[in-house]
Amino acid sequence: MSTEKNNVALLDEAYRYWNDNREKAFEKWMELMDDNVHFRSMAEGAPGMEFTKACTSKRELLDYFEVLANEWEMLYYKVDEFVAQDDRIVAIGNTGWVNRRTRKRVDTPKVDVIRMKNSKIVEFFEIYDTAKVLGAARE
């Protein structure tokens, strides 16, 4: 199996597990992360979404997932398509969440730009509708 196909297979399994088991089931993601993963989120730590600040280690990313699971309830996370070239994979789909504090729901397109090395994620940048997400996070 080519590196591209292997990387897509690993990610496809992680996304399916994430969707099927919801926000608290992030162990598959943690298994795929390199110890020095560089993770960025479109909200970049904005007020109400402070946990989305850039992470530069697996430990910091664990904090991200724990706060995400405590503050948001996942409704679904679907990937419709993967685009892969060399060590770069783009996952294109959509996701829905409810903020546990405000009870506001958000459905947004979702694109993840990922770079892998030796079957581990070394870079991850998540892109989504920040206006919708920030609106749901605020009273």
Q: How far is CA 96 from CA 33, 56, 104, in A?
A: 23, 26, 11
Residue 17, classed as helix, strand or coil, is helix
pLDDT at residue 18 in the model: 92
pLDDT at 1 > cutoff 80: no
pLDDT at residue 86 in the model: 94
pLDDT at 24 > cutoff 80: no
Which alpha helices (DSSP H) does the chain contain, by range?
Answer: 3-21, 27-32, 58-71, 130-137
pLDDT at residue 19 in the model: 93
H-helix or E-strand containing 88?
strand 88-99
pLDDT at 66 > cutoff 80: yes
Q: Is the pTM of this model over 0.85?
A: yes
Q: What pLDDT digit, counting tens, does each position of 96-112 carry? A: 999 999 999 999 999 99
pLDDT at residue 100 in the model: 97
The correct CATH number of 3-137 out of 3.40.640.10, 3.10.450.50, 2.102.10.10, 3.40.50.300 is 3.10.450.50
**Burial of residue 94 (number of CB atoms within 10 Å: 0-12, 13-18, 19+):** middle
Given phi > 0 = left and psi -120 to 50 = alpha, else beta, which region is 44?
left
Sign of CA dihedral 64, 66, 71, 72: positive
